[in-house]
Chain A
Amino acid sequence: MAVRWSRWSPQIALTPALAVTVVAFAGSIVWTIWMSLTRSRRFADYTINWAEWARQYVRLANDDIFITALKNMVILGVGSLLAIVFGFILAAMIDREKRGEGIFRTVFLYPLAVSLIVTGLAWRWLFNPTLGVQNFLHQIGLTAVNFDWLSYPSTAMYGIILGTVWQGAGFYMALMLSGLKGINTEIWSAAKLDGVSFWRLYAEIIIPMMKFTFLTCAILLSLGVVKAYDMVYAMTNGGPGQSTWVPAYYMLDAYWQKSNLGLAAGAAVVMLAITAVIFIPLVLLTGWQLRRREAKAT
């Protein structure tokens, strides 16, 4: 392939992508990190006072709202795990009972085609205290039930979790379904022949075999949780008070409302750090799993 004229064309063709990577990704990340060390307010100020380079981070650490945002992120992450569990149950059932696979898959996946803003607004409407599901439940006599979650700081996050699980379960179902389809069909019949019980089959054979799929789901889930914004904006707009703020919400608020570029950059760097801390070990683990599986296969 080392032909004269073919040497430079690929390199030239790669220039735009390389430029985008260098400028819009690498350069921009460095710029934001730099900004997080400065005292920039509305506009970029490049001077760093090295004596107090961490001032934005200190401010974030002492800001109760940012701590709330981080806590909410963790709550959302743990709550969203339900989407993986739910997705797996759905996939296992669909895979076991082949009837209606197409219809069920279509129904469970459609939330993914809908904008998070639309989803959030639909849930906001369902949670409407006077005209929503709450009212419906009271009308049919379940007056003890409280479905007015979004109005109270203590329950608002659970409302967002419900919406997020509804939106994401189908996606994890699709991933799990393709994972289940990859499992050798002989195992099912063999297990049947051996009289392995239903629960043992899943707990001891199927789930361990799907480690890779579960890891992938976990990676995608955690990345989504760190970035979560649209759903929060549409459902509660951060409220009541600041009880449903998430890091992305804090960052955007710092930049647009507080006009504090330095603080916003600091929050963004914290988000990047969290992503890296979750992402890198999980990717390494996945890669290791994959290599091990390949080594086994050969």
Chain B
Amino acid sequence: MTTVAENSLQYARSVDEPVAFPAQKRRIKPASIAILVFLAICALFFCVPLYVIVVTSLKTMDQIRQGDIFSLPWSLNFDAWVTAWDKSCSGTLCQGVKVGFFNSLQILFPSLILSIGLSSVTGYALALWNVKWANTFLFILFMCAFVPFQIIMVPLIYITGPGVTVPIGSFNLHLPGLGIYGTVWAIAVVHAVLAMPILTLIFRNYYKGIPQEIMSAALMDSGSFWRIFGEIILPMSGNIMIVVLILQITSIWNDFLIGLTYGGIGTQPMTVILANVVITALGEANYNVDMASALLTAFPPLVIYFVLGRFFVQGITAGAIKG
């Protein structure tokens, strides 16, 4: 199979001139049109859910009951948005998804600082300093990055909560917990813990690309570990910081399970509130309010995506292939 490629490769090289397309202006060929039409149809398919969310959120319930899901709203009506933001009910709490919005923000910032701070320093130490067990540690981190969350879920409840009491023989060993279970801090800490392996690997791979001469010069300059990090490495990591930041913002904002598990009443993130509003709602379903809540929840990461798409793509692919 590969021989075909190799043969043709040699053939291509034996031709002096690079194989150029005919010089005249290329006309759009039928094949191109077919491809473009196919891609456009696919693009339409991808847009359907977002389109339906948007139009449904702008309709009145009267119009929704008519049953034409794809129709445009009769008039621009933002009532459902206001209700969703301010008055929709999650359980017995009818204060809208804004509660979740502010909780998500409160989770986001500490979590970003913790996770990025921890993993950038770890990645820097592992990439540029002589640590004997660096490779072993990296391998373990690589494994940790793929562990299913459920296997460490319950222990993390105890760690963020009251701690554990392990009986060893007749002696009870009490390991204290952080005592933050049920607050936004617990959610933030768990996010930082779960993101640490993958972010460390991303930072480590990036810092590995920094030329050794820079490090040698910095060491000559009698820079200490922290001074080199603060004065040389950090200013060089602008690009990777943006990538990681976007990766983290979207994954923290979009998370559901961690918020559900470690949050309490009143500290749950926006996705959890949204799920409560829609799935466990009592009484008649208000689809326009449901979809408006969904749209409001999806809004922040979507804005980031459309504004900083390039970094977003880098982030998810970096998060995916660092093996």
CB contact between B49 and one of A13, A115, A119 (< 8 Å): that residue: A119
Name A's interface SS.
helix
Q: Is the interface of B mostly helix, strand, loop or mixed?
A: helix
The stretch of B4-12, B84-92, B235-243 that contacts the partner chain: B4-12
Judge whether A113 and B304 touch: CB under 8 Å.
yes
Nearest B residue (CB) for A9 = B225
Complex CA gap A107/B41 in Å reads 12
Whole-angstrom CA separation of A178 from B144 in the bound complex: 26
A272 surroundings in chain B (CB, below 8 A): 147-148, 151
- A46, A125, A237: the one contacting B290 at CB < 8 Å is A125
Residues on A facing B (Cβ under 8 Å): 1-3, 5-6, 9-11, 13-14, 16-18, 20-21, 23-29, 31-32, 35, 44, 46, 90, 93-94, 96-97, 99-100, 103-119, 121-126, 128, 130-133, 135-136, 139, 166, 170-171, 174-175, 178, 184, 186-187, 189-194, 196, 204-205, 208-209, 216, 220, 223, 226-227, 229-230, 233-234, 237, 247-248, 251-252, 255, 261, 264-265, 267-269, 271-272, 275, 279, 283, 286-287
The residue on B at minimum CB distance from A206 is B5
Nearest chain-A residue to B155 (Cβ)? A28
Q: How many A-B residue pairs have CB under 8 A?
A: 308
Indicate if the CB atoms of A117 and B256 lie closer than 8 Å: yes
Q: How far is the CB of B221 from chain A (nearest CB, A)?
A: 12
Q: B217 near A: Cβ within 8 Å?
A: no
Residues in A with CB closer than 8 Å to B312 are 109, 113
Q: Could you tell me if A121 and B36 are in contact, using CB atoms closer than 8 angstroms?
A: no
Q: How large is the interface on B (under 10, 10 to 19, 20 to 34, 35 or more residues)?
A: 35 or more
CA distance in complex: A97, B29 (Å) = 11
**Does the CB pair B5–A205 fall under 8 Å?**
yes
Q: Which residues of A lie under 8 Å from residue B13 when comparing CB positions? A: 186
Residue of chain A at shortest CB distance from B114: A16
Candidate in B146, B166, B226, B306 with the most chain A CB atoms within 10 angstroms: B146
Residues of B close to A118: CB separation below 8 A: 53, 271, 274, 294-295, 297-298
Q: Does B131 reach chain A (CB closer than 8 Å)? A: yes
- Contacting residues, chain B, for A5 (C-beta < 8 A): 224
B233 interfacial by beta-carbon distance below 8 Å = no
| B146 CB to nearest chain A CB (Å) | 6
Question: Which residues of A are found within 8 Å of B119, using beta-carbon distances?
Answer: 17
CB B264 to nearest CB in A, in angstroms, measures 14
